[in-house]
Structure 1
Amino acid sequence: MRDLAAGVRYLGRGQRWVLSHGRWFGFGLLPALVTLVLYGVVLTVLAFWTDNIAAWATPFADDWSEGWRTTLRALFAVLLWAGGLLLSVLTFTAVTLLVGDPFYEKLSEQVEESEGGCPEGVDRPLASELWISLRDSLYVLWRAMLLGVPLFFLGFVPVIGQTVIPVLGFCVSGFFLTLELTSVAMQRREIPVRERLRVLRGRKALALGFGVPLVLCFLVPFVAVLLMPGAVAGAALLVRDVTGHDDTPRHDGMANPGGVTGHDGATGPGGPAGQGGVTGPGVY
């Protein structure tokens, strides 16, 4: 529960940081606004075509009575659009970070500098940075789909499909949203995407506390734009925690000893690999 609350606090700290640094808040709005327009068009087109897609995907219902056929296809259409909406929440961040990579890199650096120093990243050409971001985002999307697709079909199961499954869907989306947002600061530390995943698996509650509220807020289109700069700032603060660069005392009185130390993942937030749960198996 403490990690869950800490995740929410990092999200709040990030929003406060950008609001107190108005220039950087405006700096981070433009990429999110451009991406919002693109996603608005896609979701609108999807909404117009859901009935046709539902009819195409359920040919076996053509011979059913009209009531059952209409009910099935209406449910399919609703779940399809809801699935598209949840997928857009996850990919919105990835696309926005890709579009605004130079913007958010500078924002993240400024946040860390204000907290007591920013690790020096490797100086790469912009094209190389964009390629790495795209490659990592596709990996994250693939991992998210491994869980998201089964959850979509489980949504058809009576009772749990309308209660438990949506909750699990928000948790999965929140976890991977946190993974995307922390990529800016973790990439600067040369932590590869698979190691980022292991690190956050070891701090699931922290990742969910940060990401799930964002997923819920991102369901409101303009809120996503307004919160994006603060989300990047908060993610930079969160990374300082999980990699051992945050001086904020933890609940055990320590300053997060044993942070991640590079590509090989020899150590993690809880100590040597395999002892703190960072590199062990996890749901995500």
Structure 2
Amino acid sequence: MNDLGAGFGYLMKGQRWVAQHGRWFGFGLLPGLITLVVYAGALVGLGYGADDFVAWATPFADDWSSPWIGLLRTTLTAFVFVFGLFLAVITFTAVTLLVGQPFYESLSEEVERSEGGEVHESGLPLWRELWISARDSVRILVRVALFGIVLFACGFIPVVGQTVVPALGFCVSGYFLTQELTGVALQRRGMVLKDRLPLLRRRRLLVLGFGVPLVLSFLVPLVAVFLMPGAVAGATLLANDLVDADEGPAPGPDGAATTEQWAA
């Protein structure tokens, strides 16, 4: 259980770091603001259109008597919106990291520099870094979508669907959110997704301690934007300590990852 507290500690360290480096905090806000505008529009559209979608998807209930038709469609509409919100929380980070790749790379490097550690560089051109980041993000999102479908279906189970399933949803979201955020620092070490997953699995409670509080805070409007710079800083500290405590991939002679480490 100590790892839960330690994971939360890394999140707080990251927020303190950006609070002490105001220029980098402002620098890291820009990608989140851009993504927020897009996602806010999408969620508003979902809020207006979810009931029409549910009515279209449940034609078999058109002849049901009141209150059963209303109860069914109201419940399904709520689940559709919650599912959309669940995906938004996860994909927000992926899209923000993709949009802000140059911003967060620089922020992560500055965290390492200020902490007196080695500043890692991938040695790859920006287009290649963006491709790797996008590819790994898609792979993570596929996993998230599969878990989301299962949890969505389990939401119809009485009692369990209203208690256990939401808690599991936050844990799943937090776990994958941490995978995304630590990817900024670990990718610069030459670690693609298949290298990062075993590293994080060995410290699941640490990962959850970092990610779950962040997911919960992201549910508050605008909070995600303001916490993203500190989340990247904290994830950098967490990732570097995990690699230092484990066997990481060996760098090439110029400090960059070898060709084999970057293979798909």
**TM-score class normalised by the smaller sequence:** over 0.9
Equivalent pair of 2:15/2:227 in contact (CA under 8 Å): yes
Aligned residue runs from structure 1 range 123-138, under 5 A: 123-138=123-138
Aligned pair 1:260/2:248, yes or no? yes
Aligned length: 251
Aligned position for 2:110: 110
Give, in whole Å, the separation in 2 of the partners of 1:262 and 1:18. Answer: 30
Structure 2: distance between partners of 1:261 and 1:82: 39
Deviations 1:162-197 (A, max 9, x none): 110000000000000000000000000111102211
Match of 2:160 in 1: 160
Corresponding residue of 2:172 = 172
Structure 1 length normalisation: TM-score?
0.86
Q: Report the Cα distance in structure 2 between the residues aligned to 1:238 and 1:28, rounded to whole angstroms.
A: 18
Aligned partner letter, 2:233: A
Q: Deviations over 1:113-132 (max 9, x none)?
A: 11222343222222211111
Q: Match of 2:18, as an amino acid? A: V
Task: Compute the displacement of 1:106 (Å).
Answer: 0.4
Q: 3-state DSSP class of the match of 1:243?
A: helix
CA distance in 1, matches of 2:248, 2:17: 25
Equivalent position amino acid for 2:74 in 1: A
1:215 to partner: Cα distance = 0.4
Q: How does 1:1-284 map to 2 (within 5 A)?
A: 1-244=1-244, 256=245, 258-262=246-250
* Amino acid across the alignment from 2:232: V
**Structure 1 unaligned runs (5+)?**
245-255, 264-284
Three-state SS of the structure 2 residue aligned to 1:65 is coil
TM-superposed deviation, 1:242: 1.1
In 2, Cα distance between the equivalents of 1:12 and 1:218?
15
Mapped contact 1:242–1:259 kept (Cα < 8 A): no
> Cα deviation per residue 1:229-271 (whole Å; 9 max; x = unaligned)?
0000000000012101xxxxxxxxxxx3x333359xxxxxxxx
**Mapped partners of 2:160, 2:120: distance in 1:** 48
AA partner of residue 121 (structure 2)? G
Distance across 1 between alignment mates of 2:118 and 2:74? 51
CA deviation vs aligned residue, 1:114-153 (integer Å, no higher than 9, x gap): 1222343222222211111111100010111121111011
Distance 2:58 2:250 in 1: 49
Q: Say which SS state the counterpart of residue 76 (structure 2) adopts.
A: helix
Q: For the residues of structure 1 that align with 2:92 and 2:131, how far apart are their CA atoms?
A: 17
Encode CA deviations 1:13-39: one digit per residue, 9 max, x unaligned.
000000000000000001001100100
State whether residues 94 and 137 of structure 1, in contact with CA within 8 Å, keep that contact through their aligned partners in structure 2: yes
Partner Cα separation in structure 2 for residue 238 and residue 141 of structure 1: 22
SS at match of 2:133: helix
Letter in 2 for 1:112: E
Question: Whose relative contact order is higher, 1 or 2, with alpha carbons under 8 Å and at least 6 apart?
Answer: 2
Aligned Cα RMSD in Å? 1.2
**Structure 1 residues 75 and 112, CA gap change in structure 2 (3 angstroms):** same
* Other structure's SS at 2:67 match: helix
1:83 counterpart SS class: helix
